[in-house]
Amino acid sequence: MFYFKSMPLWQRALRLVLGGTLVLIGLVGLPGLALGYLIAGVGTSTALTGFVGFCPMCAFAVSGKRSGK
């Protein structure tokens, strides 16, 4: 199993709102700047983890600890 527990609903909603806000700040607030694209990328990944319901990298780190590695 790749992940053990999905996020609670409040955390998923928070990640969706925060990610969407970061995308708007990055693309609308800082148009054409590299920093704006970086902020928008972070916002996109944050929103996607909220949409999917688990963070793949967090689950990967937890699965490594549980298997004794």
Contact 6, 57 (CB under 8 A): no
| CA 30 centroid distance within chain | 20
Residue 5's pLDDT band (cuts 50, 70, 90): low
Contact 41, 30 (CB under 8 A): no
Q: Give the pLDDT confidence of 15-67 residue by residue, as tens digits.
A: 899 999 999 999 998 888 899 999 999 999 889 888 887 776 766 666 555 55
The pLDDT value recorded for residue 59 is: 63
Give yes or no for residue 3 having a pLDDT over 80: no
Least confidently predicted of 4-8, 9-13, 16-20: 4-8
| Closest by CA position to 62, among listed 19, 16, 1 | 1
| Closest by CA position to 53, among listed 17, 18, 19, 7 | 7
